[in-house]
Structures are given as structure tokens and as C-alpha cells.
Amino acid sequence: MVLLDRDGTINQEREYLSSPDELELLPGAADGIRRMRELGLAVVVVTNQSGVARGYFDEARVHEVHDRLRAMLGKQGAALDGIYYCPHGPDDGCECRKPRTALAEAAARELGGDLSASFVVGDKASDIRLGCAVGAATVLVRTGYGARTEGDGGAGADYVVDDLIEAARVIEELVEITIHYSPLTLDIRQ
């Protein structure tokens, strides 16, 4: 399973994206997502949307943006297996706001994924910390706030890449390593 951040990772960073009309995919985002799914991985979005708690837009608007995101990806042959979002603010103490793990756990439960065998891809420290919290491999993209996050030390990401296309290449390599070098069960008979 691949858990992707939304803003700055899949689409252009817009401070509190509140309109489907403002949504613009990053170059290669659809290609990267399509490649991840071709590897047999579920691909979901896990995103903090505190603009709801701040009163900048309502949850209906979040759904409109997500509908538009799905349509834009679909036109390029890419699809998402789910979108999970936190509408709370940073001080609300919820369990779903990244880097807390409730959204990732919900995705794994609903899609039958193993978080410790998953990948978390994003442009912020909260994305990387989420991945670390669930035992996933972490990939920092330099899009959105990623270059700044990298400059601040990369938040301990396992891998740092330019974009989702490069993230898909890293994930493909890791999947191939797992397939080729998975532990063998030996039948030892006396």
C-alpha cells in the first residue's frame, strides 16, 4: 500500500486549497500513481485539511476537490483506491491528523493493507513522521514544501526524490527486492 500526501505531493501546493478550479496536478503525478498501481499496490491519499476547522471551507468543498482530483487523474489513466482526510485543526487533539496514525490505520483496515510493508510519500515532516510511526518506508518528495523539508534535515526520510515518478521508481526497486529476497521456508527433516 502507498499512502500519499495530497497538497504539494500530487497537486500544486495552494495555501488551503478551497476550490476544485484551483486544483492543478504536478507534472508526472498521474504517471507515478499509475506506476504504483501497476506494481499491484493500493494507492491512497492521506491528507490534513485543517481549513475546515479554521472555517475557510466546509467538508462538502473538500469532497468537491477530491472528486475533481479523481477526475483529473482518471483522464490520465491513474486512479486512487481511497482518500482519507482529517478536517481538524492542529490543536484539536484528534487521532487522525498526521503524523498521528488513525487515517493510515483506517486505510489499511478497509483495504487489507499491512502498514509495516507500506510506503508513505509526502513533502512535509508530518508525512515522514506518519510513515515512521506505522513502520512504513518513507519517501520525501522535493515538490511542494519538500525542498524546504529536505533543507531542514529531511525529517529522517528513508529516501528523498524529486517527484512522484521518481518515488514510483524507488518503490518499484523496493518491491522487487522484497520479491526476490524474501525469506525462504526450509523443510528440515530428521
pLDDT digits (tens, 9 = 90+) for 102-149: 999 999 999 999 999 999 999 999 999 999 999 999 999 999 999 999
- Catalytic residue status for 5: yes
More confident residue, 154 or 121: 121
Rounded mean pLDDT of 66-84?
Answer: 98
Dihedral in degrees, nearest 10, Cα atoms 118, 109, 82, 33: 20
Q: 2-180: which CATH architecture?
A: 3-Layer(aba) Sandwich (3.40)
Owner of C-alpha cell 500544486: 12
Rounded mean pLDDT of 51-55?
Answer: 97
- Weakest mean pLDDT among 12-26, 125-139, 167-181: 167-181
Beta carbons of 111 and 82 less than 8 angstroms apart: yes
Nearest to 145 by CA among 122, 164, 121: 122
Q: What's the gap between Cα 169 and its chain centre? A: 15
What's the chain's length in residues? Answer: 190
What local confidence, expressed as pLDDT, does residue 110 receive? Answer: 97
Nearest to 46 by CA among 22, 74, 93, 10: 10
- pLDDT surpassing 80 at residue 85: yes
Q: What percent of the chain shows pLDDT beyond 70? A: 94
In terms of DSSP H, where are the helices of the chain? 29-38, 59-75, 102-111, 125-134, 146-151, 164-180
Is the four-CA dihedral 166, 168, 169, 175 of positive or negative sign? positive
Nearest to 144 by CA among 168, 169, 126: 126
Beta carbons of 40 and 1 less than 8 angstroms apart: no
Beta 82-86 vs 119-122: how paired, if at all? Answer: unpaired
pTM above 0.85, yes or no: yes
